[in-house]
Amino acid sequence: MDALLRSFREHKEQTWEDLNHRFRPADKFELEVSAVYLLATVNIALIYFFNVVNKSGHIWRTGMTVHYVLHLDRMVTGLAVFFREWMPLWFTRIISWAVLSLEALICAWILSPYGRRYTRPFAMVGMHVLHGLFGTMFRLGPFSWFMICWSYLLPRPETWADLATWYKKKAHPVEVILDRSSPLAFAVGRLLARLDGLDLLTFTPSDPEKANPPFIALTLPNGPELQDGAALRRVVRLLPAGRFIYPIASVLTLGVLPLVLSMLPSRRESLARFFGLTLAAQGTALIKADTPFGLRLAGARITARETLIAYLATCAVFQVFIENKCFPPQLKPKMPPYMAATVAYPRMFQGWGMFAANPITDDGSVSIDAITIDGRHIDPFTGEAPDLDLSDARGLGLGQIRQDYFNRIRLDRNKVYRDGLKDYLLRWHKETGNPNDELVAFDVYWLRDQCPPPGQAKPTNHQRQAILTYRKPGYRPAAGLPPLPPAPKVVSAEGRTPESFTDRDGDAHGGPTSEKRQSGDAGK
């Protein structure tokens, strides 16, 4: 999009002949040299390297990882629930080892000094497959989709050249005839000339002696002439990847895209007036020339840019040693405060190890049992009756922000933030606009259960731990309403003790667990 807008600014076609003089901004064909490409490419490879090296636990080695992560109801999507109920255990083991192998291969493909014409596209496809599965199976926020976007740094120029050659074999050049009296047609021609990366379109103005010419017409080799909506649809298909993108876009827009293309010719005059389009007088476009001062300024800018990149690379290297679990403590350097701030403020962390060294084997979420002033029991986070049992869940449908908030608000180090949660609940009736939604009591629980063992489908060892409670001072229930129940004991949700939880049936459970394991921080 930036290149498209820059092209419109730098080159203003003034005649119909100008449309056939393909203009490309300098950054489209000139070689750009910067350490940032090396830094970004190596950083992408290191993500997969450490994701493999840090996964050293026995669950990964035995191939049980996919079984456990598919039973994390706070993270999975409905698609994951479907597959966990369908896939046999032996198949989940194959997928677990395949994920680890693919991550290792992607790293090798990216860093390979040989055959990069082929290994880089392999890495790009591998990233699409891996993160496409992660993004559709788990609610991980934008991480998976960001990684897919970053994969487009990997293909080399010869890869795009091979793709263009293959695509042009099935495409034929066409002549595009535009209404010479329509400013909108000229504007559409300017846009198509920039999107026509394969140079398949040749633009021609309509015959001046022809009355009421079509907005756009195509002269196809060995075929009939197409006009207006049909011609626009064919042109879109001739653009790079258009024959694949157009059907998908038509479905995603519920047929709006074809409708817009069909209506565009009949609205040419009103749209031209709306956008203030006019046909420019013929003349010569001005060309902006570089000045000596501008060249010196550009050189200074490049020097400053590369210096900053070198500094960020140094910070990243320090952070790699500090965060990744595979390095022993004696190899972890101490970063100067200014470097630590450089990493922390823009969140440039380098701890790579999703579900490492072992995946999380227990599930957990927050549920609230709140009582409204008219006696209803409700969970303000869902607006429904409280569900205090995770063992029957088939995915909780939580987004990344909510599930991470729930997982962190229960930690002892985050007790200070529970006052904010309390304030939100006390003004919940103002959020809903219903006075009867005022909460006179609530108990915030951290619910936890153990993921089912391999070969089973039912979670075990369900627990319920109160982390925040409230009873309205001086409250007296209205006639016919029961008194408020006694507040449960607030306990730490980071450990398991017999008195700290009971399941739905009131049976006590016990057994120690480590904070690190239960923190649920799966890594980046």
Please give the Cα distance from 339 to 361 (Å, whole number): 35
Q: What pLDDT score was predicted for residue 200?
A: 87
Q: What pLDDT score was predicted for residue 524?
A: 41
Greatest Cα pair distance, the chain, in angstroms, is: 93
DSSP per-residue codes, 185-251: HHHHHHHHHHH-TT--EEEEEPPTTSSS--SEEEE-TTSPPEEHHHHHHHHHHHSTTHHHHHHHHHH
The phi and psi torsions of 223 (rounded to 5 degrees) equal -155, 170
Higher-pLDDT residue of 502 and 302 is: 302
Please give the Cα distance from 112 to 96 (Å, whole number): 25
pTM equals 0.77
The phi and psi torsions of 197 (rounded to 5 degrees) equal -70, -15
Average pLDDT, the chain: 86
Helix (H, G, I), strand (E, B) or coil at 447: strand
Summarize pLDDT for 237-261 with one digit per residue, the tens. 888 888 888 899 889 888 888 888 8
* Mean pLDDT confidence for 441-455: 93
* Mean pLDDT confidence for 371-388: 93
DSSP state of 76: B
Find out whether 399 and 381 touch, Cβ atoms under 8 Å.
no
pLDDT at residue 523 tops 50? no
* Mean pLDDT confidence for 183-210: 88
Domain ranges of the chain: 2-18+171-275, 33-166+300-359, 362-518
Sheet holding 174-178: strands in order across?
201-205, 174-178, 216-219, 226-227
Distances (CA, A) of 310 to 32, 303, 331, 338, 521: 17, 11, 22, 15, 30
Q: What pLDDT score was predicted for residue 26?
A: 61
Residue 351 is which amino acid? G
Strand partners, 364: 448
Q: What pLDDT score was predicted for residue 16?
A: 83
In this structure, how many other beta carbons lie within 10 angstroms of the beta carbon of residue 404? 17
Summarize pLDDT for 198-247 with one digit per residue, the tens. 888 999 998 888 888 899 998 777 767 888 888 888 888 888 888 888 89
Sheet holding 439-450: strands in order across?
377-378, 362-372, 439-450, 460-471
Q: Residues 6 or more apart from 394 whose CB is under 8 A from it? A: 73, 81
Summarize pLDDT for 259-308 with one digit per residue, the tens. 888 888 888 888 888 888 887 654 444 444 567 787 788 889 999 999 99
**Residue for token pair 């559409």:** 188
Work out the pLDDT band at 141, boundaries 50, 70, 90.
confident
* Mean pLDDT confidence for 329-356: 90
